[in-house]
Structure 1
Amino acid sequence: MNAREEILRRVDGIVPPRPAAEVAAAYARIDRGYLRRHNGGPSAEVLDLFAERAADYRATVLPVSPDRVAETVAQRLSARSGAYGVPGDLPAEWLAAAGVPLVRDPDPASLDGLAGAVTGCAAAIAETGTIVLDHGEAQGPRALSLVPDYHLIVVLAGQVAPDVTEALERLDPRRPLTFVSGPSATSDIELSRVEGVHGPRTLEVLVVR
C-alpha cells in the first residue's frame, strides 16, 4: 500500500463511501433553477456587455466583422517581432494575411521564446468578461495560453453566453477548462498589482460580430 492509498483508506474510515445510486440521487435533487438576468442568443446588448466587462479587466477588446478577421489579426501581430505559436487546427483564414513567422503546435520547450500565441476559445461570458478555453478545437494545449507573454484570442459572437450559468451548460466538465479574465495579474504582495505572473501580460480579444 502506497501513501496515497493509505490516506484514502483513512478518509474512507471517517466518511464511508456512499452507494453510487445514493450519490446519483442526491446529485439529481440539486436545485438548478438559477437566476438568469439575460435571455436569448448573442444579441448586440450581450456582446457589448462582454466587451465592456473584458475591457474592465484590462484586456484590449476589438470588435471585427467576419471579413476583417485576417486583416485585424495581421495588424495585431505586426506590433511585435518574433514568431507566434498557433494550434495546428486554427482556421487558416484567420492567418491568411499574418505576414509573421508562425509555429503550429509548438513544442512546450519553445513556448517561452515565442512573441505570443493566437487561439480561439470554447465560450465567453458576458456578465463577467471571462473567456473559457477547454483546449479543444483551435485552442491548443493549456501551456500555449499560459507561457507566451502575449495572447490574442478570437471570440465568435455565437460563443458568447450571457451569464455563467449558460456558459457552463455549453461546456464539458470533463475537459481541462481555463477561465481567462483579463491579463494574468496578482496583488498578493503588499497589494501592488503585478501583471504577467501566472500567464500572459497582454491579452487582446477579437470579437467577431
Structure 2
Amino acid sequence: MSSRDAILGRVRRALADVRQDDTPYDQAIQRDYLREHGDRGVEETVDLLAENLADYRALVHRCTDEELPGVLARLLTGRGSRSVLVPPGLPASWLAGVDLPRVQDRLESTPHELDQVDSVVTGCAVAIAETGTIVLDGSPDQGRRRITLVPDHHICVVRVPGQVVSSVPQGLERLDPNRPLTWISGPSATSDIELDRVEGVHGPRTLEVVLVSGLPGDEVTS
C-alpha cells in the first residue's frame, strides 16, 4: 500500500459516520453580501478610485479627451522613455503627440525583448474604486498580459466614469471569466520578513493611471 492509499483510507474512515449533505452548492452558504459600501454618487466614486490608487503608490492624473495626447506625451517625456509598446487596438489619437519608436505587441516577442521596452500604454476593462484596482482583460486596447508585466513603466488610461465601478461585485459583473484577467492594485511590490519594500519584482515598478473624461464610451452604466 502506498502512502497515498494509506492517507486516503484514513480520510474515508474518518468520514464514515458523517451525514451526507445533499444541499446544493449555491444554497449551502448565504451569499447576500453588500454590493457596495456606502451610498456614493458618480463623482464621489471616481474620487475614491483616485484616492485608493494613490494610496497604493500609483501616480494618478486627470484630464479631458482633448488633453489626453498631451498628457501621455508629457508622461513619456518626463520618464525619459525611448520606446513605447502599443497594443494593436489602442486608439491612434491617444499617442498623436508622442514622437517615439512604437513597439508592437507581437506573439514572437521574448521576455528579454520586452524588458528593453521603456514604457507601455494601455486601456483597461474596468476600474474598481473601493479597492483601487485596475483590471485588464486582454482586449485589443490592452494587449497580451505580459506586455504590462515585463516593461518597467505602465500607463493605463481609464474612461471616466464609464469604466469606473464602486465595488468588486460590480466589477465582476462586467468581466468575462473566460478572458485572461489581470488585476492591478498599484505598482508591483513585495516585502521581506523585515518589511523592506521592493518594487518591480513581478510587474512594472511604476504605474501611472490617467482618468479621462469625454472619451467615447464613458457614459455611466450599471
Q: TM-score, normalised by structure 1?
A: 0.83
The number of equivalent residue pairs is 192
Query: What is the rounded CA distance, in whole Å, between the counterparts of 1:90 and 1:113 in structure 2?
Result: 21
Task: Give distance in 2, aligned partners of 1:165 and 1:151.
Answer: 26
1:198 aligns with 2:199: no
Deviation at 1:105, TM superposition (A): 1.4
**C-alpha separation between the residues in 2 aligned to 1:28 and 1:117?**
44
Equivalent positions of 1:13-52 (< 5 A) are 26-27=25-26, 31-35=30-34, 36-38=36-38, 43-52=42-51
Could you give the per-residue CA deviations for residues 108-166 of structure 1, whole angstroms, max 9, x where no partner exists?
32201000111111111000111001111300001001000000000111111111110
Show structure 1 runs of 5+ residues with no match.
Answer: 1-9, 15-21
- The amino acid that maps onto 2:143 is G
Cα distance in structure 1, aligned partners of 2:150 and 2:87: 14
Identity %: 51
Pair 32,203 (structure 1): closer, same or farther in 2 beyond 3 Å: same
Matched with 1:138 is: 141
TM-score between both structures, scaled by the size of structure 2: 0.79
Greater fraction of residues in helix? 1
Larger Rg: 2
Match of 1:78 in 2: 77
Alignment partner of 1:90 is 2:93 = no
Q: What RMSD in Å do the two structures reach over aligned CA positions?
A: 2.4
Which of residues 175, 182, 189 in structure 1 aligns to 2:186? 182
What one-letter code is carried by the residue in structure 2 that aligns with 1:205?
V
